[in-house]
Chain A
Amino acid sequence: MDFAIETADLVRTFKIKRGEFLTAVDRVNLQVKPGEVFGLLGPNGAGKTTVIKILVTLLYPTSGRAFVAGHDVVREAEAVRPLINMVSGGETSGYGILNVRENIWMFSQFYGMPGKLAKERIDRYLKRFEMTGDAATKVNRLSTGMRQKMNIIRGFVTDPQILFLDEPTLGLDVHIAREVRQYIREWIAEKKDHTILLTTHYMAEAEELCDRIAIIDNGKLVACDTPAALRATMGEGGAFTLTLSPAPTDTTLVDQIPDVRNAYLAKSDGRTTGELRFTLNSDARLPEIFAAATQAGFAVRGFSKREHDLEDLFVKIVGRRLHEDE
């Protein structure tokens, strides 16, 4: 098996109404190696979940092919299923009438795990996620965060060769999200040949966890590489914030300067100061920008630079910010 996950010209369209179709996944080609944590990054509605649904055998592709652990997800779904598991974030799934332990046990049985092994693993995971005290609590009495932790355990307890994590930290508080990320790192460090496909729209999460990242927008794969290589494509510059007084009302000031991109007004107190943000490929244009500000009657009250991150790359490629639609 060369790839844990492979797709070839994967297309999925949905009928919206008569004669009207939405292309959720548009000729996506992915190649994920065994042992990788591979990130699929994109805004809401980009097609990430649709790709996952096809890969976990929940949905047929309209055209193209997809393979998981070398098995065709359409023709060999029965061979794929014992090797995978999935956890989706931002949902409240679970048999509310069962307690935490019973819920996880139930799924271990759907995967055919022997009772003794299932019990050992469930105990271990409950301890690892500090849920031993909640093992006998009915799921309908759990907070969203605790329910999600239970679902994370449900995903890991079957020891899947390939794990699909669809926005696993969505809606979680910072502490639990950090705990989940920490465990993902531990798991993949321990299981060298196991693979994770992670979808997220949190840039920091993708950078922290993923060996490689693919950026998807409007169903199309627009970039795919390691986080470092993706950042490197942005050049030496960075993202700049200029605090000006009085507050600028538009971005005209920097729009005239060559190489300035993605300028927008970030923060303003309405009268005295306002923040103008933009990206530059190199610092060489900065004196020009300061001069233009002074010439336009602004006083520079503050200035900061941040190295390029994936958010900037996303803006560069897609033309809008990742969280613009939220």
Chain B
Amino acid sequence: MTRRLARAIVASMKIGWEIESNWTNVPLYILYEAVRPLSLCILLYFLYKVVSASPGADPHFFAIFIGNAFFMIFGALASGLSWAIISDREHYQIIRYVYIAPAPFVWTVIGRAVTLLAVALTSVLLTLLVGRWPLGLPISLGGVRWGLLAMSLPLGLAAACGIGLFFAGMLLITARHSLLLAEGVGGVFLLLCGVLYPTTYLPWWLRPLAWLNPLTHWVEASRRVFGVTGFDKPLGALPDWELLAILLVLTVVYLYIGWKSFLWFEHRAKRAGKIDQATNY
């Protein structure tokens, strides 16, 4: 069973890669994937320059830069899961054959998103490189807290996967334009997770939502990996182990909810006959 599952996931990853990349040649694809995050970095840099003469030397800008770089992973993973459903159902109209295959459907969907995750990780790397050299941010290999990165990154990915699974599952019972809803909710998470500003700037009644979100803690942990502390005061006060413990607990909860929700939506879709029902207008 494990071998069969591994084969299915590898095959899904291959489809994901082909769908993402094969419209062009490799150098052009790399350029395409690099332009997006780099444009965002530069945009952020100039926006910040409005309020600070030297963003490169400003620790707040560094915190925003790192938070934004890592948040891209969440966007890629969450939309990748939803996109796997939409493209198979609407564009390739092949979802029924994927669905009835022995490989668990949820794993083939995850396999499809792995490619986008790999691309997003590459984008993060590029972003960090741009942050180091043209922008002059204090990023260095020696300054990276690798242990913390090794612990926080998998947890962040798992939390993002849980949230992505929830929205991907929802797409099983809704029309294709619900993909926009998933993307919109991604924007809400950007507002809530302390990526661009500390969570203390949120109205008091929104703060619990931010603190109960694993992505908020993941972004904070990612900042600490690069030595940035004190951007978000309440989170900054937590010792590493406590931050990781909260991240772990919230990730488990979000992953569980996302996984169960996906299965529940799948069950609903099967009951309503919507698994392979393309959106026709």
Q: In this complex, what residue of A is CB-closest to B5?
A: A112
List B266-281 residues whose CB lies under 8 Å from chain A.
Answer: 270-273, 275-276
Q: In this complex, what residue of B is CB-closest to A81?
A: B102
> Is B245 part of the contact surface with A, judged by Cβ < 8 Å?
no
Q: Is the CB of A98 within 8 A of B101?
A: no
Segment with Cβ contacts to B, from A36-44, A53-61, A213-221, A305-313? A53-61
**Contacting residues, chain B, for A56 (C-beta < 8 A):** 96, 100
B97, B101, B273: the one within 8 Å of A59 (CB): B273
A14, A59, A96, A110: the one within 8 Å of B92 (CB): A96
A14, A81, A97: the one within 8 Å of B22 (CB): A97
Q: Is the CB of A92 within 8 A of B102?
A: no
Q: Is the CB of B93 within 8 A of A78?
A: no
Q: In this complex, what residue of A is CB-closest to B19?
A: A97
Measured in the bound complex, the distance between the Cα atoms of B96 and A266 in whole Å is 41
> Is B237 part of the contact surface with A, judged by Cβ < 8 Å?
no
Q: A95-B18, A111-B102 in contact; A58/B96 too (CB < 8 A)?
A: yes
Q: In this complex, what residue of B is CB-closest to A96?
A: B92
Measured in the bound complex, the distance between the Cα atoms of B56 and A83 in whole Å is 61
Q: Is the CB of B92 within 8 A of A86?
A: no
How many A-B contacts are there with CB distance less than 8 Å?
A: 84
Interface size on A, residues (CB 8 A): 33
Interface SS of chain B = helix
Q: In this complex, what residue of B is CB-closest to A112?
A: B4
Q: A58-B275, A93-B93, A110-B11 in contact; A86/B102 too (CB < 8 A)?
A: no
Q: A14-B273, A112-B8 in contact; A91/B15 too (CB < 8 A)?
A: no
**Contacting residues, chain A, for B177 (C-beta < 8 A):** none
Candidate in B3, B23, B103 with the most chain A CB atoms within 10 angstroms: B103
> Is B68 part of the contact surface with A, judged by Cβ < 8 Å?
no
Q: How far is the CB of B270 from chain A (nearest CB, A)?
A: 5
> Is A63 part of the contact surface with B, judged by Cβ < 8 Å?
no
Binding site for B on A (CB under 8 A): 14-15, 53, 56-60, 78, 81-82, 84-86, 88, 91-98, 102, 105-107, 109-113, 154
Beyond A78-B104, A81-B101, A94-B92, list 16 extra A-B contacts (CB 8 Å): A56-B96, A56-B100, A57-B99, A58-B99, A58-B100, A58-B276, A60-B271, A93-B93, A93-B94, A95-B19, A97-B22, A109-B7, A112-B3, A112-B4, A112-B5, A112-B103
25 residue pairs of the A-B complex, CB under 8 angstroms, read A15-B272, A56-B96, A58-B100, A58-B276, A59-B270, A60-B270, A78-B104, A81-B102, A86-B97, A88-B96, A92-B93, A93-B92, A93-B94, A93-B96, A93-B97, A95-B94, A97-B22, A102-B18, A107-B97, A110-B7, A110-B8, A110-B102, A111-B103, A112-B4, A112-B103
Which 9 A-B pairs have CB atoms at the shortest separation, nearest pair first? A112-B4, A109-B11, A110-B101, A82-B102, A81-B102, A93-B93, A93-B94, A109-B7, A110-B103
Binding site for A on B (CB under 8 A): 3-5, 7-8, 10-11, 14-15, 18-19, 22-23, 92-94, 96-104, 108, 270-273, 275-276
